[in-house]
Amino acid sequence: MARDDVKTGYKLIGTRPNRPDGLDKVTGRARYGADFSLPGMLHAAVVRSPHAHARIVKIDASKALALDGVKAVVTRADLPTGLTGEDLNLQDNTLAGERALYDGHAVAAVAATSALLAQDAARLIEVTYEVLPHVTDVDAAMAPGAPVIREGVADFSVPEGMHGNVARYMEFGHGDVEAGFAAADIVREHTYKTEATHQGYIEPHACVGQMGEDGRGEMWVCTQGHWYIRRMSAAVLGIDAANLRVTPSEIGGGFGGKTTIFMEPLSLALSRKAGGRPVKLVMSRSEVLRATGPTASASMDVKLGMKSDGTITAGQVYFRMQGGAFPGMSPIGEALPCAFACYDIPALKHEAVEVIANRPKAAAYRAPGSPMAAFAVESLVDEMCRELKLDPIAVRLKNGATNGSKSSYGPVYNVIGLKETLEAAKDHLNYTVPLGPNQGRGVASGFWFNHGGETSVTLAVGEDGTATVMIGTPDIGGSRASIGLMVAETLGIPYENVRVNVVETGALGVNEPTHGSRATFASGKAAVEAARHAMTEMCRRAAADWGIDPEAVEWKDGAAHPAGPNAGKFPPMTIGEIGSKMGSTGGPISGHHEVTAEGVGASFGTHVVDVEVDPETGRTTILRYLVVQDAGTAIHPAYVEGQYQGGAAQGIGWALNEEYVYGADGRLQNPIFLDYRVPVASDLPMIDTVIIEVPNPGHPYGVRGVGETGITPPLPAVASAIAGATGARIRSLPCSPPKVLAAIMAARA
């Protein structure tokens, strides 16, 4: 299908072929983590702390081990000692040591011949706890008198005198902030809060691990990054990475939460203790919510100066974020650079602290840190626009970053598409639809850096002229189709003649996970280079057959051609012809490329949302929602639109309903989807999308990542729309009905 909206010269890029995984997924044939089974397999269950903070006095597994069919129990005593740094943190989180640090922290694990028996056995493992003081709130954790939950967590960056729960400190900026505020017509300052939210992937964590007494093992696992699983599991268990082969399953969502380990090494430790029998471990939803990485909760002060014409003269933020009981997990390092990334402001000051608290070890969540930062900064921009009666898009166009702007965090933006997204949003029908009673409109922009990273790809030419591409980045959002399109475009063959497989750790060099919106960018870039290598070799084979110099042969339209009239007159030699006789012309033909990919192009987006708020209940209904985002080049536009819609849906959930609710006892009160309310299809209208294409010069086809930016603007956009509908500004997410109703009542009073 040719692309008809933009004249690009591409034959395949920009088209929407059928999804390569579509049939498997709709028929149930796709194999997810929990679908994998092996002969003689055992099933595991995990004993988890019911306390937010407790000393583990004693673990007695004798009653569990006495059950017929129970084959192994592991505790921290079964894991090696002497680990340091993040390896120690990973091990501490996999199984608690002397202390359980949060409600749900794993304390022991058991393997038995059935899942039910394993669960029964887990209940028979008796753990004696000495309950300790706890703290779960980010501001409370750094208040005077708060219990220090782990000694010595502060790294080099923390100045003396800060609370013992502060693990990291960061500060940067430019320009004279005080002079900037003095030059403003209005200066406003508020505190904004976001609660921890979970990635909410539909597929819970699941794996099957097998390891013999010799320390050699294998794992089948649902993950975003199987080399990370290999390295981390090997570190926790004290084995060599080469002795662990990890194969990824299909993945039912990750959003950053599957870039690390939580319980995976337990399957291997249990297997080794159970004589090498494979062990399956599948988390329940409750375990996922209690014990796998949500994002951080945040408390954020923002101060802005603005002239009456909308010029922003200065900005200042102070962010406090907690990422659970382990240091290094809150995204302050990402949130701060994202805070003002959409703007070109002459004076800025950024400051942040990371705090630890008795909560689960946070993990990356789609554009880590950027949604919270956007909620704080974009909300205040909106408040000041309303106060000065300025159009919010016009203010963003006036102050927005553009090509050549020095970013708020240092680097200069090369070629970016923020202003194009703002112009398209301004011109979209959704921005001019008249609003009715109790309705409001919100606008916000968002940013994500995007990422390159370690990447290794191999392409093999088949005997029939097809191509198989081996990549190491699990396909979360359509990267197989997009990489297939790029390879087919490069080779000049039909898309259907390219198959892209995600392969195991033994098949390629190290690949970083699918994270940072990098898979289509980095694996795609490497796949194009691998295809070019194969084309060079195929030209060499044709040249040898024709008896001419390889330099006199060029590749186009899926075949080797003589490069000009002086090269001789030979009919084109197709990839099928070359492949069919490659065994007799020198052997198999493949291309390979490995690189730490650079040339990343930042991604900007602008969202417009209309809401209606029921003044009697505080319930918010999303009436219409528009995502405009720069994709660079949309390789497969349907997947790009899906990423935009998915990001918006998650952001709407964060804005309206999702939150971790902790009781006074430090226990998570809502660890099921009934009480942890993610948006469902009936909650949302069709989310409108506009794909902006400002090609990234750092990629052969102009790709930017598209996966993460879309979750960033919904938080402030929805809160601003509610403010427009009600006159009440919510500065603490989520904008749940009770909170909105209370704000309406307060505004009326």
Partner 1 sequence: MAKVHLWASLRRFADGQEVVEVDAATVGQMMDALERAHPGLGPAIKAGLSVAVDGEVIANNRAAPVGPQSEVYLLQRLKGG
Residues forming the site for partner 1 (CB under 8 A): 155-157, 159, 169-173, 199, 255-257, 259, 331, 333-334, 337, 364-368, 406, 409-414, 448-454, 515-518, 596, 598, 600, 707-708
Packing angle, helices 226-237 and 85-94, rounded to 10: 90
- With a CB cutoff of 8 Å and minimum separation 6, the contacts of 416 are 401, 402, 403, 405, 601, 602, 604, 630, 694
CB of 349 to partner 1, least distance (A): 8
Which of residues 262 and 413 has its CB atom nearest to partner 1 in the complex?
413
Give the residue among 369, 373, 399, 370 at the shortest CA–CA distance from 384: 399
Beginning with the edge strand found earlier in the chain, give each strand of the sheet holding 573-574 in spatial order: 553-556, 559-562, 573-574
Which of residues 204 and 371 has its CB atom nearest to partner 1 in the complex?
371
Whether residue 734 is preceded by a cis peptide bond, meaning omega within 30 degrees of 0, is yes
Which of residues 110 and 471 has its CB atom nearest to partner 1 in the complex?
471
Q: How far is CA 481 from CA 15, 19, 616, 636, 644, in A?
A: 11, 6, 47, 7, 17
CB of 368 to partner 1, least distance (A): 6
- With a CB cutoff of 8 Å and minimum separation 6, the contacts of 384 are 186, 188, 304, 306, 390
Which of residues 75 and 712 has its CB atom nearest to partner 1 in the complex?
712
Which of residues 106 and 158 has its CB atom nearest to partner 1 in the complex?
158
Which of residues 205 and 515 has its CB atom nearest to partner 1 in the complex?
515
Give the residue among 702, 720, 704 at the shortest CA–CA distance from 629: 704
Which of residues 452 and 472 has its CB atom nearest to partner 1 in the complex?
452
- With a CB cutoff of 8 Å and minimum separation 6, the contacts of 405 are 344, 412, 413, 416
Which amino acid type is present at position 76?
R
CB of 436 to partner 1, least distance (A): 37
- With a CB cutoff of 8 Å and minimum separation 6, the contacts of 77 are none
Which of residues 334 and 504 has its CB atom nearest to partner 1 in the complex?
334
Chain centroid to Cα 45, Å, comes to 27
Which amino acid type is present at position 216?
R
Q: Around Cβ 748, how many Cβ atoms within 10 Å? A: 10
CB of 583 to partner 1, least distance (A): 38
Give the residue among 494, 496, 500 at the shortest CA–CA distance from 558: 494
The span from the CA of 385 to the CA of 370, in Å, is 21
CB of 255 to partner 1, least distance (A): 5
Which of residues 62 and 157 has its CB atom nearest to partner 1 in the complex?
157
CB of 328 to partner 1, least distance (A): 9
CB of 224 to partner 1, least distance (A): 9
Q: Identify the residue whose tokens are 């003396």.
A: 160
Which of residues 316 and 497 has its CB atom nearest to partner 1 in the complex?
316
Q: How far is CA 194 from CA 322, 374, 651, 741, in A?
A: 11, 11, 12, 18
Burial of 511 (0-12, 13-18, 19+ CB in 10 A): buried
CB of 362 to partner 1, least distance (A): 11
CB of 158 to partner 1, least distance (A): 9
CB of 35 to partner 1, least distance (A): 25
Which of residues 310 and 707 has its CB atom nearest to partner 1 in the complex?
707
Sign of CA dihedral 726, 728, 733, 738: negative
The dihedrals phi and psi of 694, each to the nearest 5 degrees, come to -110, 95
CB of 351 to partner 1, least distance (A): 8
